[in-house]
Structure 1
């Protein structure tokens, strides 16, 4: 066919979307587009534009590349430290250790006996509950308009005296929970690791015992004074109202729940995810092993090498060792934080079907010290706010005075947790907590500034205090004190 043939297939217009052209064999191919010659007069600077890192830039560029660079730099620097440590010391990790059997036995005994104080608090609350139920029963039987008889006045006096006895019993029980363990650790356990685990366990039980007593006291007061100004209780407590919560099963759940604040009822998950549980348990075991290896291979020799400079108070040597220790201390602390608050507490919450798992917040973005202390350890923060800060403010204390008392109380617990196991009540941990107060007052205005600069400065102050000043310096001081008593600097070391 010599001429072009074009046919439009239209047998079914509903099926045909566009005409189809069938070209002939003689149809010419379209000519390629011819590019014009590049002209050297193109206007590349046609508008005003700021540099991408300037504040005037409409869009903030991504810093993903710099983040990758910093991660790689940290990896390379730590690999260099690993190689340097291996060349200098060799392999220091061994399966044997200097843990004495006596320390292990005392630690195991304390672990078993310390929770008894929780059950003692339960028995005290049972007595208080029976007295409260009796008072409610007598009130229902009495005539509201009848004048009280002398016998009723005597019963009221005995009733008030009973509350004092219950308060004293709770105080003595909670004090013994912390005092007995502290005495045993101080006099009978030489190993700082076992001593610290035992002391921390006692502090946790002590805080739980206090919360159990305080909460049930308010619930009992609300039951005895219905309609009063302090009778309102959270709606969630309606699932287990007082005194139905005073049961052994309720106490045992609180004993193992990953919280320091007692509630008659907690939000629960529907089921246990066993896969999630074993993953978190594996993470805990792996991170604990990593911490042990890091401390044995890197932290301990570095601390031992710092003893000579500490003994003669050589400030340049101490500063150099402090900066070296800061890297190891940071790695160990971050691993410990993840092991406890992300892995272990989530595993415990899963097995207990505990619903509220906000154990921490994004503390690494803290723009002030106040933000850090309120986000990195939510269980302790919740206890301090509920049982220390809020009651003080409710009694007329100012917010600043209540905050100071919270840090005094926290500093006391920190000193017990570190000073008792190391047999060195130096007050360093306590003073370290007190030193946070001026830093909080200094960084709080920075976090409230509208521009980014103030928040960046506040975050940098937080990291400097966290990495270089706080933990490494305290570790060096307590290690030196322990070695002076029982270790390399001691003339009278304990016999194995």
Structure 2
């Protein structure tokens, strides 16, 4: 009993200490790990195997569920409707506008069809291109250059206009006297070259047309020069310090070369006058917008385009246009309407192609070339006339220099004088029709009204297209008038010229 009593309490104390230590160990981590982390490998392995079996069972259940969901979705897609409310692509209501492939197809078909016609022309007529023959279109006598002499004489009218404006600025001429001198000067500009062409037999039709074109441009420029300087005098008389851009004296932000602004009458110099004469514009300003430098690469590209398209225009005219026109004379003499229509359609394609080439050669290559040489900043010589949905939009955007001149010096002055828009617009078409006829009838030395009537017909045609045709239909109507109207006028003039030459040879 004594031994047991002596031994018992220490053992019980050790047992309690061990239990207490076990409880403490279960609560306190050792080296950052809990007691669960210090379990024996066997225990951990058993627990891991149980967890893996649980994960596998859960994964198989999720796979079955996802498979069921995919089956349900698949059945739902099969049962769901495959139609919805929508328009066909070629319908205007669909909003679809990417027709690049169709445009490429049209270009390919156009190239192939014209290649066939050109090959047929070569097989039938042979090679007709002769660059040397082109010189004879400008000169009959190599020692007599009347058209070139006419162009040189035009400097007289330039100097007369400058002298008149200088006298007006000094009040040496009164306003009525200056106006009378300007009117006489510009009337002679139009009548003098026409009289020379009609009276001098050595002037060829092509040379005469070139000289008349130069004089017509000079007429429009000097008219603008007269108007702008008159506006400057009117404003200076009321002590105006600056002129708005609409009155041809823009503010300094239009320039990037640091040039000093010129004010009236400091603009009345030889240099300023001839800069305006050679600048690619018809509307005069005291201070034109200027580009900073001359880009040599841009200049050479425009020059190469000018040379290339000049050769193309001459070659296609000799090889394609002349044979078709020559073969059209007999149907025109016999008044065979079916053959005339066939010749008209045959002439429409080469004539339209030449017109497009001429547009690019003149309005893009040539005018940009001269603008780059003169550092002329305003290069808007045309807008997107090819998208014209009305005839009026076409005439307003295919020749911007002429449109600006008509708007500034003819249309708006008529409105300010109380005329209606319809009358003013008709007057603009009448003026354009006059110059078209002037540039064709005088060099051919025969007076017809085909060009004049062609322009005046544009008035009712513009009303019809604007009233009844819209969108693509209006654009197609504009293209039809360009493609068929021009060759019809060409055939009329060529027929009349051919008949006139035949009658002269018979006499």
- Shorter-chain TM-score bucket reads 0.7 to 0.9
Residue 64 (structure 1) aligns with: 100
Q: Are residue 236 (structure 1) and residue 250 (structure 2) matched?
A: yes
Deviation at 1:54, TM superposition (A): 5.2
> Which range moved further: 244-253 or 92-101?
92-101
Within the candidate set 106, 112, 122, 1:86 is matched to 122
Within the candidate set 181, 206, 231, 1:218 is matched to 231
Deviation at 1:446, TM superposition (A): 5.2
Q: Are residue 248 (structure 1) and residue 248 (structure 2) matched?
A: no
Residues 233/82 of structure 1: CA separation in 2 closer, same or farther (3 Å cut): closer
Residue 303 (structure 2) aligns with: 281
Instruction: Write the mapping of 1:26-175 to structure 2, written as runs, cut at 5 A.
Output: 42=78, 45-53=81-89, 55=91, 58-60=94-96, 62-97=98-133, 98-99=136-137, 100-102=139-141, 105-131=145-171, 162-175=174-187
Alpha-carbon deviations, 1:450-478, whole Å to 9, x = none? xxxx211211111111111x210111111
Residues 270/446 of structure 1: CA separation in 2 closer, same or farther (3 Å cut): farther
- Checking the alignment, whether the CA contact within 8 Å between 1:349 and 1:355 is kept in structure 2 is yes
- Checking the alignment, whether the CA contact within 8 Å between 2:228 and 2:248 is kept in structure 1 is no
Helix, strand or coil for the counterpart of 2:495?
A: helix
User: Residues of 1 paired with 2:397 and 2:282: CA distance?
Assistant: 15
Q: Are residue 185 (structure 1) and residue 185 (structure 2) matched?
A: no
The structure carrying a bigger helix percent of its residues is: 2
User: Residues of 1 paired with 2:285 and 2:424: CA distance?
Assistant: 23
Helix, strand or coil for the counterpart of 2:127?
A: coil
Residue 55 (structure 2) aligns with: none
Q: Which has the larger radius of gyration?
A: 2
Deviation at 1:58, TM superposition (A): 4.8
Q: Are residue 299 (structure 1) and residue 321 (structure 2) matched?
A: yes
Q: How many residues align?
A: 427
Deviation at 1:53, TM superposition (A): 2.1
Gaps of 5+ in 1: 1-33, 133-158, 448-453
User: Residues of 2 paired with 1:485 and 1:403: CA distance?
Assistant: 35
Helix, strand or coil for the counterpart of 2:147?
A: helix
Q: Are residue 270 (structure 1) and residue 292 (structure 2) matched?
A: yes
Deviation at 1:491, TM superposition (A): 4.4
User: Residues of 2 paired with 1:209 and 1:281: CA distance?
Assistant: 28
Residues 39/431 of structure 1: CA separation in 2 closer, same or farther (3 Å cut): same
Helix, strand or coil for the counterpart of 1:42?
A: helix
Within the candidate set 395, 398, 403, 2:417 is matched to 395
User: Residues of 1 paired with 2:281 and 2:247: CA distance?
Assistant: 20
Helix, strand or coil for the counterpart of 1:102?
A: coil
Residues 355/433 of structure 1: CA separation in 2 closer, same or farther (3 Å cut): same
Instruction: Write the mapping of 1:363-402 to structure 2, written as runs, cut at 5 A.
Output: 363-402=385-424
TM-score, length-scaled by structure 1: 0.80
Residue 477 (structure 2) aligns with: 461
Deviation at 1:41, TM superposition (A): 8.3
User: Residues of 1 paired with 2:215 and 2:472: CA distance?
Assistant: 39
Helix, strand or coil for the counterpart of 2:444?
A: coil
Deviation at 1:339, TM superposition (A): 0.3
TM-score, length-scaled by structure 2: 0.78
Alpha-carbon deviations, 1:110-161, whole Å to 9, x = none? 12112321121001111111117xxxxxxxxxxxxxxxxxxxxxxxxxx7xx
Deviation at 1:370, TM superposition (A): 0.2
- Checking the alignment, whether the CA contact within 8 Å between 2:87 and 2:94 is kept in structure 1 is no
- Checking the alignment, whether the CA contact within 8 Å between 1:114 and 1:181 is kept in structure 2 is no
Residue 279 (structure 2) aligns with: 257
Gaps of 5+ in 2: 1-66, 253-260
Residues 56/316 of structure 1: CA separation in 2 closer, same or farther (3 Å cut): closer
Residues 234/173 of structure 1: CA separation in 2 closer, same or farther (3 Å cut): closer
